[in-house]
Amino acid sequence: MRDRKDGKSRKSRNSRTKKHFAGIRLGRLVWYDLSYGYRSTRLKWLGAALVQAYFAVMAVQGCSMPGASGEVLGMQAAGEQVPGVQAPGVLGYLGFLLQGMPEYFLSETGKFELPVPWLMLQGYLLFLTVSYPAGDLARSGGQAIVRAGRRRDWLFGKAVWVGCTVAGYYLLLTATVAVCALATGGLAPESGNAGGLRIECEAGCSAMEGLADKSMATGSASSESMADKSMATGSASIKSPGRSQGFLTDRYGIDLAELGGWEIFLSWWGQPVLVSLALCLAQLVASLALGPALSLFLTLGYLTASVFWASPWLLGNFSMLLRQDFLSGIPEICFRNCLFLCAAWSIGALSLGAVWIGRKDLF
């Protein structure tokens, strides 16, 4: 009886020891992927910073007053208040880059334009994550999988690297946009008492006094003509810095007062991150089986299809701000469906990857 108990205790200790060493190997494998993976893609990260800086500057220009972007940018950079221009803040600039486009309807007179900033930012992230997993497998000739102890651990390490890369990419984008927002008015978008007020007045009122004073100081006569016109018509509607419905309301019809903090976070960051993570994990598995070039081509094709069809089965719709349910009126494109579909994509992709790795002949 004692021998039987001693045998069971030894088996239990051996099992715990094996699990302990398996955990150590898994931790070392994850650390290897994080360190070596970032070193192998450092030039791509430099390209990511340049791409994001370019589109952030494009967002600043696109969100400025039409026809006077150079003057407006100069005044904002000097810390001056610009009449009629509201500070978009981080949400405004990020919304400009990730807005995508409304649902597309084919018509003879309709004009179609690809949402280039959204497509480029999403596409570059796919390009950033496509080569390292398959390249590491090709360089080691399968020895890295053998040293990992279990093949699934090797795939898990690559999945952790993909997740950290997606998170780092969006953190870099947010930091880049925040720098532009600080240089052009502040981090928060102007709304309510913080942004410009839509003032309506009767004939003879002095609603244009602040704007007229600014025009006299700069030698411009455009605001004076606007004031004369408003007095002639009997009413005026202007935007004055310091009070307004805000940039997001005027541009997209979004009232931040109607959205909670979690809804704002999920719409601007949560859903795009989940979509990118699901697509990158699917691309990870496809790159191991089909090669990086073909997997990148297929994933980009699937992402581009989202531009033409506003279907919840196309994940790209969930990362476009203008396709969100509170703007597009399509109830299926909501966070709950996004979470469910992205989880299904990620789990399905990793399960297929584990099966493929388990059956792959490494030698």
Is the confidence at residue 347, as pLDDT, over 80? Answer: yes
Print burial letters for 291-321: b (CB count within 10 Å at least 16), e (below 16).
ebeebbeebbeebeebbeebebebbbbbbbb
CB-count exposure of residue 6 (10 Å: 0-12, 13-18, 19+): exposed
Is the confidence at residue 340, as pLDDT, over 80? Answer: yes
- What is residue 267's predicted lDDT score, i.e. its pLDDT? 87
Q: Range with the lowest mean pLDDT among 16-20, 195-199, 243-247, 273-277?
A: 195-199
Higher per-residue pLDDT: 287 or 251: 287
Secondary structure (3-state) at 200: strand
Q: How far is CA 171 from the centre of its chain?
A: 9
C-alpha neighbours within 13 Å on the C-beta side of residue 357: 29
Average pLDDT over residues 31-57: 92
114-173 per-position pLDDT tens digit: 899 999 999 999 999 999 998 888 876 566 666 666 778 888 989 999 999 999 999 999
pTM (2 d.p.): 0.74
Q: How far is CA 206 from the centre of its chain?
A: 44
> Both tokens of residue 318?
């969930």
Whole-number percent of the chain with pLDDT over 90: 36
250-281 per-position pLDDT tens digit: 777 777 777 777 888 888 999 999 999 999 99
Higher per-residue pLDDT: 89 or 232: 89
* Residue recorded with tokens 């299904």: 344
